[in-house]
Structure 1
Amino acid sequence: MKRRRTEDGALETRLGHVFADRTHLERALTHITAATSKEGRLGSYQRLEYLGDRVLGLAIAAMLIEAYPKADEGELSRRLADLVRAETCAEIAEAMDVGPYLKLGAGEAGSGGRRKAAILSDVCEAVIGAVFLDAGYQPAADLVDRFWRERLLAPTRPLRDPKTELQEWAQGRGLPTPLYREIARTGPDHNPHFRVAVLVEGLDEAEGAGGSKRAAEQAAAETLIAREGLILKAGAHVRRA
């Protein structure tokens, strides 16, 4: 027990948070395969992952508003999507070095579960949720700031364009590819102006305008993304409540 508490202390030092109730941290590090049969899924990190996902989104959104005062909603949404995506969370979990502390079933541990991006991504969010439960929003936001600020100020990958974002969201939900239709074209041939609508199954149309058909399509996709609050997670977009 003493050794375990010492090990947890090393992790807490990296996280910048000492838990008042260490059961929160232990739960955040417990994969479903290591949960007791009595507790089942409730004994794993899944509920904390759900909570941490929401806290992460709010904390990042607030940081973006402060860091990019001239960015419009579309740009902020794209930056947010990149920062909360599964790949980013997995990389952050590696920076936290949570792998050695994970509680995994024998099969998962034997198949390299401590290095699996999907597990690391989930645990990253669960740790944020654990800090939130242990001490409230501000310590959780401080944790996010500690590990995300450098990426937020200097993205490690280019932001994807709205059409790509929307197509990935549709694919992630098993929906047909978004359809674009030209509503109007005005102006002379040397300086045209296009208005385009985008249609995604299950959602109301959104419109956009631009000096080319492609620009208008991008604007329409961006309008839909912003209106519906579509954010990338775990390789696909999910709609935020």
Structure 2
Amino acid sequence: MSTPPPNPAANTSENSTEPPRLKIVLALIGTAGLVGAAFVAGVIPEVGKRLDNKAAPSVTASSAKACPGPSEPRTRAEVVPARVPGVGEIGIKSVVYSLKDGKTDTAPQMFIELTGQLSGQLPADQVLYPFLWADPETRDSTPEHNPGSGRYFWGRTVPVIPDRHGCWSQPQRLLAYAGAHGLHFRLHLGLIPRAQVPCLERLVSSKQGHEHGQTQDELTGCNVTLLGYALIPTRPY
């Protein structure tokens, strides 16, 4: 049986005796909770193999090519870049997203579709992944008005792979429970040395790490370099 998916939105106590009331399904992050150990043992090494066998694309920074956008309605995110020494000129040039409400077999959910563009060149010995963070200064629209968790959740199954123009895209996937409206999310992009991916795997292999995400210090301990983030606010009901 698969373990419950992690919840980057609700900042609830791990020792609470209340029944779980907010189920977040975050396909950007932690889908290992849905498919269990078979996913970790099978899919992640295969993703690593594909990346290892594919040379890092050479991004033409001066290219005026417009990257394809997501489906309507679409929003161009406000991007907050981070100037990080030692990573060359790679950075987040743009992120465009489309948020929609929908329903799975079990409950209403919030869905997201993403496209973006990078500047600079992805180092050949590193991988780029999304990390989702929910602002603890914002609250959802459930009766409990839970705040964001303020922790990072690794998008382990969805590496960001740019083309030669720096364009990348990710199809529509589950973001959060429908009651998460009101939370403000930050979509971080983080560089990780390929040799350090097992370090992140160890962090998310524990129940605490899987369900409650990671701190910035834990990411730093795995040599994750955050390149900045895109703001994805949602409106409360």
Give the alignment's TM-score, normalised by structure 1.
0.21
Structure with more relative contact order (C-alpha pairs < 8 Å, separation 6 or more): 2
Name whichever structure is richer in strand by fraction: 2
Q: Which has the larger radius of gyration?
A: 1
Give the alignment's TM-score, normalised by structure 2.
0.21
Name whichever structure is richer in helix by fraction: 1
